[in-house]
Amino acid sequence: MIRENTEGLYAGLDFHGLHSDTLGEGLWEAVREHPNAARSGPEGSSVTLRLQTSFGIDRLLRYGFAYARAHGHGRLTLADKPNVLRHSSNHLRERLEEIAADFPDVESEILNVDAVALWMVRRPERFGVVVAENMFGDILSDLGAGVMGGLGLASSGNIGDHGSYFEPVHGSAPGMAGQGRANPTAMLLTVAQLLDHLELPLPAAELRAAVHAVVRAGSTVTYDLGGTASTSAAAAAVRRQLSSGAPESGDATDVVERLSRLDTASVSDALDSMSLRGVLPGVSARVPGARTAGVAYTVSYRPVDPADTSFRNAANYLDEVPPGSFVVVDNGGSTECTNWGSLLTALARSRGVRGTAVHGSARDIAEVRGTGYPLFSTAVSMVSGKNRVELAGTGQELDIHGTRVRPGDIVVADDNGVLVVPAEHAAEVADRAERVERTESAISEAVSGGLRLDQARAAFGYARPWDGPPARTSL
């Protein structure tokens, strides 16, 4: 639910006593012919103006379309009252039609706000992104909170041109202060929304997935969700869920984050320096610019008899993948069917999965790119795998063209490709890769300062960059 927050009926153009000033007198002239106003007179009449400007409308709609595209929603619904507020709603319609032309991949519509309210209750899945002017959006957002389970689950963000702030829809909830019973879910989901805004989608997805897992389990939830847990107990359950999806050691978690910031070329140099094989040959990036690292969750497929057309539910394993994982799928490099697509991408993102590498084919690439999800595969195809393969197993060691992938290893991926770092060597690989990047940065800086390339390479130990550059005083 995306609402405009500076205009509409909340713009403050609200008047009572319509001859008290120049504007009031003008408003009286506009309404005096109404029979009720004529009976009441200017002192007994009040008027509120609904302000809608092209600037405010365009900003609202462009944000809504961009949000729909980025989050894989195929429809944007503009909720208004076009059969009653005909001129201002027509203004909205005109701006919608013009801006929708810039987003041909997102379907758009304009519906009566009362109908939207009805169908949000009856069939909320009918909608993707709903946008509305200020007051209608205010009402529908609270309705949406009720549909999803109450204000204890509802997060919000206020996005401005020069600054933004985030808060649960319930605000600070002073009426519950000191009781220890408030549901922390809305606050945690608000933090996830803030992380998304700060372009930190992976920790956001991990936090959101942990919250969803705790709420779905229902064993440690607050009274409003049918449980008996206190605020602190419910929050602690989310913290435990987050921890369960990461390596047991805090140091290991730090290593994953360090590797996620490194270029795979540097990690590859580090692996080579330790005589470790890590590259997944032929597995290429399908989402340009994606860089990630996560703990390997291994999946293998096997072909089935083509005469057996029964549905195999081959991808249901994804329900069990913990947050922080990187899914590695081995289908023998086959291009005869696909093993990943937009539906699995949406589920993986919601569960906090950090990326997927498929030794085989993927599909729905345009949709996956729209989400920014890190996807890597051997090939791209459109042929379904529903009755062509079945799940052979999860949590098993894979051998992909001589590269071992074991559950718990760390997978690092970017535009260059995909690398597997053995868990027991991850800290040393990260150390060496960081020294490689520092060395190459020092060489680049020296060359920019006028040094010959061969001199800079010799000065900073380019032959063994994982040893790190010597002190600058050597120059």
Question: What is the pLDDT of the chain when averaged over all its residues?
Answer: 85
What confidence tens digit (pLDDT) does each residue in 261-302 have?
888 899 999 999 989 999 999 999 999 988 899 999 999 988
What was the pLDDT predicted at 139? Answer: 94
Quickly state the pLDDT bin for 466 (edges 50, 70, 90): low
**Tens digits of per-residue pLDDT, 143-159?**
999 998 888 899 999 99
- List, in sequence order, every beta strand (DSSP E) within 276-374: 284-285, 292-303, 325-330, 355-362
Segment 391-410, tens digit of pLDDT: 888 888 999 999 999 988 99
CA neighbor of 337 nearest in space, from 303, 366, 313: 303
**Predicted confidence (pLDDT) per residue in 187-198, tens digit:** 999 999 999 888
The more confidently predicted of residues 435 and 133 is 133
What is the three-class DSSP state of 201? helix
pLDDT greater than 60 at residue 471? no
Q: Which H/E stretch holds residue 376?
A: strand 375-380
Token pair in block for residue 242: 């987050």
Distance CA(265)–CA(284), nearest Å, equals 14
Among 53-67, 257-271, 301-315, name the one with the lowest average pLDDT. Answer: 301-315
- Biggest CA-to-CA distance, the chain: 94
pLDDT range class, residue 247, cuts 50, 70, 90: very low
Of 359, 351, 395, 397, nearest to 376 by C-alpha is 359
Tell me: pLDDT of 469 over 70.
no
Look at residue 306 in the predicted model and tell me its pLDDT. 63
Virtual torsion, Cα 312, 315, 318, 320, nearest 10 deg: 20
Better pLDDT: 2 or 350? 2
**305 token code pair:** 């008899």
Instruction: Report DSSP state, residue 51.
Output: B
Amino acid at 61: L
Confidence of residue 313 (pLDDT cuts 50, 70, 90): low
pLDDT at residue number 439: 80
Backbone CA torsion sign across 426, 428, 431, 432 = negative
For 207-241, what is each residue's pLDDT tens digit? 888 898 888 777 788 888 888 888 888 898 898 88
> What tokens appear for 7 in the block?
């205009």
What integer pLDDT is reported at residue 106 of this predicted model? 92
Does pLDDT of 180 surpass 80?
no
Q: pLDDT: is 178 or 186 the higher one?
A: 186
**Amino acid residing at 461:** G
Q: Which has the higher per-residue pLDDT, 295 or 247? A: 295
pLDDT in tens, 6-49: 999 898 888 888 765 656 678 888 888 999 999 998 889 888 88
Q: What is the mean pLDDT of residues 234-253?
A: 65
Q: How far apart are CA 283 and CA 405, in angstroms?
A: 14
Q: Give the end-to-end CA distance of the chain in Å, rounded to a whole number.
A: 59
pLDDT at 117 exceeding the cut of 70? yes
Cα(459)–Cα(100) distance, rounded to whole angstroms? 57
